[in-house]
Amino acid sequence: MQVPFLDLKAQHAALEGELTEAFRAVVRGAAFVGGPEVEAFEREFAAFCHADGAVGVSSGTDALRFAYLAMGIKPGDEVITVPNSFIATTEALTQAGASVRFVDVRPDTLLMDPNQLAAAITPRTVGIVPVHLYGTPADMDPILEIARVHGLWVIEDAAQAQGAVYKGRRAGTMGAMAAFSFYPGKNLGACGEAGAVTSSDAERLAFVRKLREHGQAQKYFHDIEGYNGRLDALQAAFLRIKLRRLEQWNQARRSIAAHYRETLSAASDVRIVAETAGSSSVYHLFVVRVPERDRVREFLQSRGIATGLHYPLPVHQQVAYRHLHLAAGAFPVTEGAAAEILSLPMYPELRADQVDYVSATLIEFFGGRPSRSAPRVTKQLNPA
């Protein structure tokens, strides 16, 4: 059996007629940059997030950069985040002019450890950026409380968490601002690059709009130097079609995750990365920790199962950050996890028999047999 890590073709095959009609409508209307499709998507995405407002931008990285700048970052400022993330979290930060400080992650969720935050704060610290990695929100209540006590702002890196919920609140509504990515493989993915910023602060959102439009609020009148960071109208049109299905797709991912948990319950060598207490993950990724990770990955590949690594080298150990002089062992939880994490196939169209096969193959590697209690079915887990 072949099990791809991600199957975008399956998603787009079901939407091809609608996507094609949306393409025709944009071409016929000739509003390619900004315009009604972008404005409609911003309204609809804000409503989906339960946010007061949203601004569409050209990528998730620009969403982060513009959010940082909207918070007034200046040279000399420090911002705290985690080393277990994609480099966009930090590169957008340093490119905005700030310095990065890291805190380690929790061993169960691999998300920001609030217990380490207070010790990392210095007189130069201005903000905290928790990363909602793998589709799971960070433990936001203690993070927000520490920020409040120390007079710091919080920006959510929600690039992988469209629709995730923490104690009744959706990702994108808990910090001063939040940044989302719509890279094609995300739960809500464009057919190219796209991103968005959400906030309850209308002035900061207006500033983001200026930044994405070369610093202009009125054409050819530039209040500041900005960027070319606009959301393409075609991508907005495609995202509007997909947004209508996102709740359904996220629920399918939750069902698949539950099936993985059941079929892997007898595999003592396979540790499933946990959800934050009180959260509802959208399982952008389904991540496990295994010994001999590279050998496991090769074994799965030999059986037709594709996997991912998110991420094999922590941000603080990248060559790009060698100048920070952070020695091995600086963040032991992140570094230990990087050698063990493995992302299993996860997408809404994944079938139950494919999940069974992945789980059975993992168990076989470690010399066991699939649990007899695991359901052996061939139905599609997607409720659609």
Interatomic CA distance for residues 306 and 106, integer angstroms? 27
Interatomic CA distance for residues 133 and 310, integer angstroms? 9
Domains 8-243 and 246-365 share a fold: no
Interatomic CA distance for residues 358 and 363, integer angstroms? 9
Residue range 198-224, pLDDT digits in tens: 999 999 999 999 999 999 989 999 999
8-243, CATH topology level: Aspartate Aminotransferase; domain 2 (3.40.640)
pTM of the model: 0.95
Interatomic CA distance for residues 211 and 14, integer angstroms? 36
Residue 378, pLDDT above cutoff 60: no
With cut-offs at 50, 70 and 90, classify the pLDDT of residue 382.
Answer: low
List all residues 6 or more positions away from 263 whose beta carbon is below 8 Å from its beta carbon: 355, 356, 359, 360, 370, 371, 374, 375
Cβ neighbour number for residue 118 with a 10 Å cutoff: 12
pLDDT of residue 374: 36
Interatomic CA distance for residues 339 and 35, integer angstroms? 46
202 and 209 in contact (C-beta within 8 Å)? no
Interatomic CA distance for residues 263 and 252, integer angstroms? 17
List all residues 6 or more positions away from 244 whose beta carbon is below 8 Å from its beta carbon: none
Q: What average pLDDT does range 184-201 have in this prediction?
A: 98
Closest CA relative to residue 197, chosen from 292, 352, 60, 102: 60
307's tokens? 């996997």
Q: Strand 78-81 to strand 216-218: parallel, antiparallel, or no bridges (unpaired)? A: unpaired
SS3 label, residue 33: strand
Alpha helices in 313-382 (DSSP H): 332-338, 352-365
32 and 232 in contact (C-beta within 8 Å)? yes
- Helices 60-70 and 88-95 cross at an angle (nearest 10°) of 40
pLDDT of residue 266: 86
pLDDT of residue 384: 44
Domain ranges of the chain: 8-243, 246-365
Residue 241, pLDDT above cutoff 80: yes
Closest CA relative to residue 85, chosen from 285, 274, 329: 285
Question: Which CATH entry fits the domain spanning 246-365: 3.20.20.60, 3.40.50.1820, 3.90.1150.10, 3.30.565.10?
Answer: 3.90.1150.10
Residue range 335-364, pLDDT digits in tens: 999 999 999 999 999 999 999 999 999 999
